[in-house]
């Protein structure tokens, strides 16, 4: 089950021909499907898709996708960074597998965060200080990563804490 080696592929994303950032894939020699529920249990914000045997996770500026037969990472500058990031992810897979007896596997697909759930924790005054016309538009922006909580100066402490937990 542990990943001992992989075949590295680095390429320009098809949607961005000529881009100066690359995507990279570690092609594996055997399936890591069994480790995905354990990664789902320990990685905050992971999105597990059991039917597709896939799990995605945002790590810093990279989107990481774990599939049964490969691990992909986006937004790398060159082959060196690709290898560094993929080595980290392979190490994460191996450490998680080694610790599986201590982890309760999570087989649940992540539920999508609802804009209404976020909106209900905002001040709902539509004051526009965040640059959006309404608090609902700001809620969409928070979910999409276009905004941060710091951009709403009207948030009370309890609202901020609840949103930090939710997001
Ligand atoms: S600054 Fe806050 S309260 Fe004002 S519109 Fe934006 S989200 Fe709503």
50-96 tens-digit pLDDT:
888 988 888 888 888 999 999 999 889 999 999 999 999 999 999 99
Site to probe by mutation for ligand 1, drawn from 147, 151, 152, 160 as the one with most ligand atoms within 8 Å of Cβ, is 152
130 C-alpha to center of ligand 1: Å? 6
Asked whether the predicted pLDDT for residue 109 surpasses 80, the reply is yes
Q: Which residue has the higher pLDDT, 18 or 88?
A: 88
Segment 136-162 mean pLDDT? 89
- Give the length of the chain: 167
Ligand 1 center to 35 CA (angstroms): 41
Q: How far is the CA of 162 from the centre of ligand 1 (A)?
A: 16
Strand partners, 27: 7, 70
Q: Provide the sign of the torsion angle of the four alpha carbons 108, 109, 112, 113, taken in this order.
A: positive
Does the pLDDT at position 111 exceed 80? no
Per DSSP, the three-state class of 10 is strand
Atom 2 of ligand 1, residue of closest alpha carbon: 152
Which position has the token pair 């990472």?
73
Ligand 1: distance of its center to the CA of 140 in Å? 12
pLDDT tier, 13 (very low <50, low <70, confident <90, very high otherwise): low
pLDDT computed for residue 105 by the predictor: 95
Give CA separation, 16 vs 10, 51, 61, 123, in Å.
Answer: 14, 29, 17, 39
Domains of the chain and any CATH numbers: 6-102 (3.30.310.10), 115-166 (1.10.15.40)
């Amino acid at each position: 089950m542990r990943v001992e080696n992989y075949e590295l592929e680095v390429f320009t994303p098809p949607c961005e021909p000529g881009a100066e950032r690359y995507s990279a894939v570690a092609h594996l020699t055997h399936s890591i499907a069994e480790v995905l529920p354990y990664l789902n249990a320990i990685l905050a914000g992971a999105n597990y898709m059991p039917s597709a045997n896939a799990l995605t996770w945002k790590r810093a500026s990279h989107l990481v996708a774990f599939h049964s037969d490969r691990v992909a990472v986006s937004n790398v500058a060159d082959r060196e960074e690709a290898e560094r990031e993929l080595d980290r992810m392979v190490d994460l897979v191996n450490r998680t597998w080694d610790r599986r007896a201590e982890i309760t596997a999570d087989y649940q697909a992540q539920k999508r965060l609802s804009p209404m759930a976020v909106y209900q924790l905002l001040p709902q005054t539509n004051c526009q200080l965040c640059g959006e016309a309404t608090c609902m538009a700001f809620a969409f922006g928070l979910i999409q990563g276009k905004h941060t909580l710091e951009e709403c100066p009207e948030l009370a402490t309890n609202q901020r804490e609840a949103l930090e937990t939710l997001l």
